[in-house]
C-alpha cells in the first residue's frame, strides 16, 4: 500500500524485441532491520539507567572527646527548634532544645505534607528568629537552628525528607542528634494526652 | 480467473521511516544512558531536591536494604583486588587467588568475615541466592566493638584508597537504628562528611530553595 511505484524509474531496457520483463524493485525489505533496531532499543532500555543517581552531601557535627566545654557552640533556646521523627512518619516538634524535663515544652504533631506540614513550622521558626534579631534579643550572627532527633521507630526516608526540608527552606544550621529519654517521655506524654482528649 | 487483471498493489509498507526512528532511539539510548551497576539487593532510595551528581570514581558504596542488612563495595576492579588482599592480610582469612578474583569482579558483598571464604568460592548464581538470605555485614554503633565488621571494611578500604568518597545508599524503609549504626561507624573513624544517594524530585514552588534556583537560572540567561 505504502510501497511507491518504482517501475518507471528502475530497471534497464533490455534492447529491441525483448518484451518488458518484470522490473525488479531496488528496495530492500527493511523489516528485519527494524526488528533488530527495536530489539536493541529494548535491550538498552532494560539494562541501562537513564539518569545518574543524585547525592545529598551531609556533614555531621564534629565529635571529639577532647573538645572542651567552653569551645563548644551553645545554642540558645530562642533560636532553636527540635524536631522528633517518630513512628509511621509522624513528626513532633517543639520550640527550644528541651533540656529541662521539669518544664515540658508544648509538642505539636505534624507530617510531611504540602499544607500545614513541617515546612510551615520551619518557615515560621525562621521568621521568628528574624523578628527576634530585629528586636535585639538575638545577636545578628545568630541563626535559626533545627535539631533533628530521629526516634528508633522512624525510617531512613523520614531522615532524608527532613534533611531535604532543611535545604528546601535554606536552614543553615541543623544537626542530627540522638534522641534522649526526655524527648521520648515528651512523645509518650503527648500521645497519652491526645488519647485522653478523644 | 477474471479476464481483466486489476493492477495489483503491493501490501508491503515502506519500512525506511520506521527504521530511521528505531535507530535514532537506539542511538539516543546508547549515548544517554549507562549500564546499571549490578546490585545485590533492590533498594529504593528516597528522593531529595539535591542535584549533586554521584562522583564517577573512587566511591565506597554502603548499601542498606529495607531489612537493614548492610552490603559493602568499592568501585574499580584493581582497587577491589588490593582491598581483598588487604582484608585477607588483616583478618587472616586464607583466601585463594581464585576467591580473590571472584571478589574483584563481583559486586557488593554482604556476608560476615566468617562466611566470606565460602561465599567467594561460589559461582555468581549461588551468590545471588545467598544475598537473599545473608544477615549482611555486622555493624555496631561503636567503632571499637570487635563485632563491628563494617568498621574493619571501611578502615581497610580507606587504607587501600585514601581518596574514597563515602556514599550511603539506603532504602527508604530501612529503620533509623540501622542507618545510625553506619553513621556512627563513620563518625568513629572521624568521617563526618559523606553522601547519601537519593532520587531526584522537583523543588516545591514558593520555598526558599525555589527562589534561589530561579535566581540562579535567571542570572544564567543574562
- Nearest CB neighbour to B176, from listed A47, A154, A167: A154
pLDDT in tens, A169-193: 877 778 887 777 777 777 777 777 7
User: Which segments of A48-179 does DSSP mark as H helices, in order?
Assistant: 118-135, 156-168
Mutation target to probe the A interface, by most A beta carbons within 10 A, among B166, B207, B212 is B207
B221: confidence class by pLDDT, cuts 50, 70, 90: very low
Q: How far is A114 from chain B (nearest CA, A)?
A: 9
C-alpha–C-alpha distance, residues A76 and A39, integer Å? 63
pLDDT tens digits for B42-58?
A: 777 788 887 777 777 78
The answer to whether residue B15 sits within a structural domain is: no
Please indicate, yes or no, if residue B159 is contained in any of the structural domains. yes
pLDDT 10s digits, B60-115: 888 888 888 888 888 877 888 888 888 788 777 777 777 778 777 777 787 787 77
Residue B159 CA to residue B164 CA, distance in Å, equals: 10
How do residues B167-199 score in pLDDT, each as one tens digit?
888 888 888 888 888 888 888 777 788 888 887
Distance CA A162, CA A178 (A): 15
pLDDT at residue A14 greater than cutoff 70: no
A120 CA to chain B: closest CA distance, Å?
A: 10
Q: Does A20 fall in a domain? A: no
Domain-embedded: residue A37: no
- Which of A155, A174, A184 best probes binding to B when mutated, by most B CB atoms within 10 angstroms? A155
pLDDT, residue A63, reads 65
Torsion of CA B154, B132, B127, B179, to 10 degrees: -10
Residue A156 maps to a domain: yes
Chosen for mutation from B14, B29, B170, B210 (greatest number of chain A CBs closer than 10 Å) is B29
Residue A47, in any domain of the structure? no
Contacts of B209 in chain A (CB under 8 A): 167-170
pTM (predicted TM-score):
0.73
Structural domain of A129: 76-197
pLDDT > 90 fraction of chain A, expressed in percent and rounded: 1
Query: Using a CB-CB distance cutoff of 8 angstroms, which residues of chain B are in contact with residue A37?
Result: 19, 22-23, 25-26
Of B50, B171, B172, the CB nearest to A56: B50
* pLDDT given for residue A197 in this prediction: 55
pLDDT tens-place string over residues A120-150: 888 887 888 778 777 777 777 777 788 888 8
Long-range contacts of B97-105 (CB under 8 A, 24+ apart): B104/B77, B104/B78, B104/B80, B105/B77, B105/B80
Q: Which of residues A106 and A5 earns the better pLDDT score?
A: A106
Find the domain containing B176 and state its range.
Answer: 57-200
CATH of the domain at A166: 3.30.420
Residue A118 half-sphere exposure toward CB, CA atoms < 13 A: 28
Q: Is residue A140 part of a domain?
A: yes
Domain membership of residue A154 (yes or no) is yes
Smallest CA–CA distance from B179 into chain A, residue: A156
The residue in chain B having the minimum alpha-carbon distance to the alpha carbon of residue A163 is B48
Q: Are B211 and B93 in contact (CB under 8 A)?
A: no
Look at the block and give the residue holding cell 545510625.
B180
Distance CA A3, CA B11 (A): 7
Q: Is A92 helix (H, G, I), strand (E, B) or coil?
A: strand
User: How many domains, in total, are found in chain B?
Assistant: 1
Question: Which member of A52, A114, A158 has the closest CB to residue B54?
Answer: A52
Q: How many domains does chain A have?
A: 1
The reply to whether B218 falls in a domain is no
Chain B residues whose beta carbon lies within 8 Å of the beta carbon of residue A47: 35-36
Q: Flag whether pLDDT at A23 surpasses 50.
A: yes
Q: What is the rounded distance in angstroms from the CA atom of residue A88 to the CA atom of residue A72?
A: 34
In-domain check, residue A2: no
Q: Do B51 and A54 touch (CB under 8 A)?
A: yes
Q: How far is CA A54 from the centre of its chain?
A: 10
Indicate if the pLDDT at residue A48 is higher than 60: yes
- Which pLDDT score is estimated for A64? 63
Mean pLDDT, rounded, for B145-151: 77
Q: Do B196 and A153 touch (CB under 8 A)?
A: no
In a domain, A9, yes or no: no
Residue B92 lies in a domain: yes
Cβ contact, residue pair B29, A56, below 8 Å? no
Whether pLDDT at A66 is above 80: no
In a domain, B105, yes or no: yes
- ipTM exceeds 0.90, yes or no: no
Instruction: Output phi, psi for B202, to 5 deg.
Output: -70, 150
Amino acid at each position: 500500500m505504502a510501497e511507491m511505484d518504482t517501475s518507471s524509474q528502475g530497471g534497464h531496457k533490455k534492447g529491441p524485441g525483448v518484451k518488458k520483463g518484470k522490473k525488479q524493485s531496488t528496495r530492500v525489505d527493511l523489516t528485519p532491520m527494524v526488528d533488530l533496531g527495536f530489539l536493541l532499543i529494548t535491550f538498552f532500555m532494560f539494562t541501562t539507567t537513564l539518569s545518574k543517581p543524585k547525592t545529598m552531601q551531609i556533614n555531621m557535627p564534629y565529635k571529639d572527646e577532647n573538645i572542651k566545654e567552653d569551645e563548644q557552640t551553645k545554642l540558645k533556646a530562642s533560636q532553636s527548634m527540635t524536631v522528633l521523627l517518630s513512628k509511621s512518619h509522624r513528626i513532633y516538634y517543639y520550640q527550644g532544645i528541651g533540656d529541662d524535663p521539669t518544664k515540658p515544652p508544648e509538642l505539636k504533631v505534624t507530617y510531611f505534607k504540602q499544607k500545614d506540614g513541617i515546612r510551615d513550622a520551619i518557615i515560621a521558626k525562621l521568621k521568628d528568629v528574624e523578628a527576634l534579631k530585629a528586636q535585639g534579643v538575638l545577636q545578628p550572627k545568630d541563626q535559626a537552628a533545627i535539631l533533628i532527633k530521629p526516634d528508633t521507630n522512624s525510617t531512613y526516608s523520614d531522615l532524608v525528607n527532613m534533611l531535604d526540608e532543611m535545604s528546601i527552606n535554606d536552614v543553615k544550621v541543623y544537626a542530627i542528634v540522638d534522641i534522649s529519654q526526655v524527648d521520648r517521655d515528651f512523645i509518650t506524654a503527648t500521645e497519652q494526652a491526645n488519647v485522653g482528649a478523644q | 480467473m477474471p479476464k481483466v487483471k486489476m493492477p495489483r498493489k503491493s501490501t508491503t509498507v515502506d519500512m525506511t521511516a520506521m527504521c530511521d526512528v528505531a535507530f535514532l532511539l537506539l542511538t539516543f539510548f546508547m549515548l544517554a544512558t549507562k549500564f546499571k551497576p549490578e546490585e545485590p539487593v533492590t533498594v529504593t532510595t528516597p528522593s531529595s531536591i539535591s542535584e549533586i551528581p554521584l562522583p564517577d570514581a573512587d566511591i565506597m558504596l554502603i548499601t542498606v536494604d529495607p531489612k537493614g542488612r548492610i552490603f559493602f563495595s568499592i568501585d574499580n576492579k584493581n582497587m577491589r583486588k588490593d582491598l581483598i588482599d588487604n582484608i585477607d592480610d588483616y583478618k587472616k582469612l586464607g583466601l585463594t587467588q581464585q576467591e580473590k578474583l571472584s571478589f574483584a569482579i563481583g559486586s557488593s558483598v554482604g556476608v560476615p568475615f566468617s562466611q566470606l571464604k565460602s561465599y567467594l568460592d561460589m559461582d555468581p548464581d549461588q551468590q545471588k541466592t545467598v544475598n537473599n538470605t545473608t544477615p549482611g555485614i555486622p555493624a555496631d554503633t561503636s567503632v571499637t566493638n570487635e563485632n563491628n565488621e563494617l568498621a574493619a571494611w571501611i578502615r581497610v578500604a580507606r587504607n587501600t584508597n585514601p581518596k574514597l568518597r563515602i556514599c550511603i545508599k539506603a532504602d527508604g524503609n530501612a529503620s533509623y537504628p540501622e542507618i545510625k549504626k553506619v553513621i556512627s561507624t563513620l563518625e568513629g573513624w572521624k568521617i563526618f562528611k559523606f553522601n547519601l544517594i537519593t532520587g531526584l524530585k522537583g523543588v516545591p514552588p514558593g520555598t526558599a530553595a525555589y527562589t534561589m534556583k530561579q535566581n540562579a537560572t535567571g542570572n544564567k540567561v543574562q
